[in-house]
Chains A and B, each alone.
Chain A
Amino acid sequence: MALVLTEEQRLLQDTAKDFLTSNAPVAALRKLRDEKDPLGYSPELWRRMTEMGWASIILPEAYGGLDFGFMGLGVVLEECGRTLAASPLYASAVLGASAIILGGSEAQKQALLPAIAAGEFTLALALEESNHHRPTHITTTLAVQGDSAILKGSKCFVLDGHSADQLIVVARSSGADRDSEGLTLVLVDRTATGVSCQRTIMMDSRNAADVQFDDVIVPASSIIGQLDQGWAVLEPVLDRGRVAIAAEMMGIALEAFDRTSEYLKEREQFGAVIGSFQALQHRSAHIQSEIELCRSVLLQALSTVDDAPQELPLLASLAKTRLNELVKLVTNEAVQMHGGIGVTDELDIGFFLKRARVAMQIFGDSGYHKDRYATLCGY
């Protein structure tokens, strides 16, 4: 467990910062939005990200990975948060790869992990079925008959679902709605017969989809892990996803706050820079304190994935809650402290505000994670 970065991790962070600042600034996301880009990210950017090994960071060396752990992944995602870089990194190389690493058969690992690392192939996780994160509320069914199975149901808020080559679908193979028993994870081609995928346009100008499965026939060999035992894979995948998105949220908060602090030092009213007003100083200093607390929580959560997975549920819920609250506070204050210009589209701050709201909903809002944390604490 570590609460400071190693020299290697710092170096990776510097590289990521330099690369993203020049190649994927907020202006790039703005352009994708304004041009209504159908893919929603730049394939060229994604190619270069994978060339630098970013899609291989958490993959074991045996499958073409760097085995650099979540502490390494965290610094890259944080920098992605700072520039709001759109790419399939999170959906494919974090969520998809984690599901294969934790639950996949040897054949699945051999076939998919090196392709994910190379960026030639992308995955997305099709989980949610309602407007709130309810990972056991699964009514999409998977009926296994011999060597094949039939998938039926619909999913929403599937991150990067519109562009992924394959979807990892969380389906119910037995049990009742809300049971964690009886869930099964299965790989499905996005273009398979009976799959219809509709890209959703969300406030953050990033990428998600609603997906429908009408009696889709999949080979039984596409199941990840054991039939009915999907929860054992899904829960740690979600916790990794929560910690990873928390890292992106840290970047969002830091960048929005840095830009705001700079503005406070420039903007003059009443004959003084507004940053000299105590009303704004105290709110800024409070934010700095929250950032310091969240920094410790995030580092601990990231290193927990690497070093103490048995403690991950508590740390993941802590990190997701605290970073949810941080980005909400910081992005709201960023808009308010910028004043009138803060609500214009011309200023980038609005992009951070909107991405923060989407990130807050990914795999559990604060209410969900506070309930989970309390339950884990026994009250």
Chain B
Amino acid sequence: MDDLEQFRLETRQWLEANCPESQRQPMRQEDQYWGGRRGKFPSEDARLWFERMRDRGWTAPEWPTQYGGGGLSPQQGRVLKEEMKRINARTPVYGIGLWMLGPAVLEYGNEAQKQQHIRAIVNGETRWAQGYSEPGAGSDLASLQCKAEDKGDHFLVNGSKIWTTAADKCDWIFCLVRTDPDAKKQEGISFLLIDMDDPGVSTSPIPLISGESEFCQTFFDNVKVPKENLVGELNKGWSVAKALLVHERKLMAEMGSDSPRRVLVPNVAAREYLEFENGKITDNRLRSELTDYDMQMQAVALTHFRTFEEKAAGVRSAAPLVMKYVGTEAEKTKSELLLAIMGSRGLGWEGDAFTAEEIDTTRLWAMSKAMTIAGGSSEIQLNLIAKNVLELPQS
């Protein structure tokens, strides 16, 4: 047996022994634990499961052990994911800190920043928000205006950030701020970590077409930020941001496969909501659209696997660069298809006339519209593919 198989065996045994039965059930949105100072465990079992995983460093399996991570190789990390999936083990803690800020600090941060922030993320002690977009800087992110003036021992931050996900529940926010107003667009930007309890920071939620308001706008009014909270070099924040965006896009491309909602799956919903005759859906157009969708999802899933295999084999391809575009477009297609399959049952918004599953599905349809906008819109993704893969000239 090779080392990886040995690891798989041990992992399987440990998970069997330590993952509570309740933490192997399909997750609803309210079952998620996001950590942070204000974070509450949805149940005692969720706390137990989180603590057991945390103590092994498996809330961040591939991060270095010296900062509390699991120290696993990418191959071992994949085995852990597979073994968790095998028993439907829930993700013990979610967070932008784990997905985005942590990897950026590990790559660009100094030792003190790693000591201060990485272990706190692994331990679920801080919940992070992302401060990139501004009301006047969406797809054209580099035109951002939120400014940080050098005041000797600190930066003075003024401006606002929009689409700061769940910022009203977060402890810290990482921001792109303009530190040199005279430099060319991308060149005067720095990457700053801001404690949201600092005086002058305020946040208000934005109601969305989905009826939710997970996104917020965060305002900075004469906020004093210590100099040591600068990640990477002054005016070189754009390269940190770009590295982070790659993590975000990868995440968004994968999001559909790990949805916590009680949403329907099109080919299952078809059985409940459509007429069949001799084992076939009678509505030819919907049958054809469902087939297109299932084929697309199979192709997307295979491409996802391919990116793993290529990474393990040290092969480079354009596949990772198209995943955000194809993954989020597929999610949008899925939601439209589900609504078409459900007919008038797909129109419910609230109340008892519709099942919780139906309402969640409908609301996810509204939310899915944001997926091809956030994290670099589909149009921006196509620009990037044209530039970076096809090497087409820029106008």
Contacts and interface: CB of A to CB of B under 8 A. Distances in A.
Interface of A: 2-4, 261, 264-265, 272-273, 275-278, 280-282, 284-286, 288-289, 292-297, 299-300, 318, 321-322, 370-371, 373-375, 377-379
Given A318-B298, A322-B295, A379 B392 contact: no
B69 to A, nearest CB: 28
Place the interface of chain B in its size category.
35 or more
B383 A281 contact: yes
Contacts of B303: 292-293, 295-296
Contacts of A289: 322, 325-326, 385
A2 B390 contact: no
B306 A294 contact: no
A4 B292 contact: no
B290 interface: yes
Contact of A288 (B287, B296, B310, B322): B322
B318 A288 contact: yes
A322 B302 CA distance: 13
Nearest to B393: A276
Contacts of A286: 382
B306 A295 contact: yes
A292 to B, nearest CB: 5
Interface in B310-352: 310, 313, 315, 317-319, 322, 325-326
Nearest to B266: A379
Given A284-B386, A318-B298, A278 B306 contact: no
B270 interface: yes
A375 B383 contact: no
Contacts of A264: 392
B322 A292 contact: yes
A275 B393 contact: yes
Nearest to B319: A292
5 contacts: A3-B302, A276-B392, A281-B392, A285-B384, A379-B280
A288 B383 contact: no
A379 B299 contact: no
B392 A2 contact: no
Contacts of B294: 373, 377
Interface in B364-395: 379, 381-386, 389-395
B15 interface: no
Interface string B274-297: 001001110000011011101110
Contacts of B385: 285, 288-289
B267 interface: yes
B270 to A, nearest CB: 6
Contact of B389 (A272, A288, A293): A288
Contacts of B305: 3, 296
B255 interface: no
Nearest to A297: B299
B387 to A, nearest CB: 8
Given A282-B383, A379-B267, 19 more contacts: A4-B310, A4-B313, A264-B392, A275-B390, A275-B393, A277-B395, A278-B383, A281-B392, A288-B318, A288-B389, A293-B322, A295-B306, A296-B319, A374-B287, A375-B279, A378-B267, A379-B271, A379-B287, A379-B290
A273 B395 CA distance: 9
Contacts of A275: 390, 392-393
Contact of A282 (B270, B281, B317, B386): B386
B291 A373 contact: yes
B291 A370 contact: yes
Contacts of B317: 292, 295
Nearest to A280: B392
A3 B309 contact: yes
A379 B270 contact: yes
Given A3-B306, A4-B315, A293-B303, A282 B295 contact: no
Contact of B302 (A273, A300, A370): A300
B393 A295 contact: no
Contacts of A282: 379, 382-383, 386
A371 B287 CA distance: 9
Task: With a 10 A CB-CB cut-off, give which of B276, B279, B288, B303 has the most chain A CB atoms.
Answer: B303
A281 B319 contact: no
Given A282-B382, A294-B299, A295-B319, A379 B395 contact: no
A374 B294 CA distance: 9
B300 interface: yes
A271 B161 CA distance: 39
A321 B288 CA distance: 12
A121 B308 CA distance: 43
A121 B326 CA distance: 46
B393 A374 contact: no
B205 to A, nearest CB: 34
Contact of B288 (A285, A370, A375): A370
Contacts of B280: 374-375, 379
A49 B319 CA distance: 32
A160 B183 CA distance: 66
A174 to B, nearest CB: 25
A288 B303 CA distance: 13
Contacts of B322: 288-289, 292-293
A288 B319 contact: no
B281 A379 contact: yes
Nearest to A282: B382
Contacts of A379: 267, 270-271, 276, 279-281, 287, 290
Contacts of B390: 261, 275, 281, 284-285, 288
Given A281-B382, A297-B302, A2 B267 contact: no
Contacts of A261: 390, 392
Nearest to A373: B291
A276 B267 contact: no
B383 to A, nearest CB: 7
Nearest to A300: B302
Contacts of B270: 379
Contacts of B394: 276
Contacts of A4: 306, 309-310, 313, 315
A75 B333 CA distance: 33
Contacts of A300: 302
Contacts of B267: 377-379
Contact of A293 (B276, B291, B299, B393): B299
B221 to A, nearest CB: 38
Given A288-B385, A374-B291, A296 B306 contact: yes
A289 B325 CA distance: 8
Nearest to B308: A3
B285 to A, nearest CB: 12
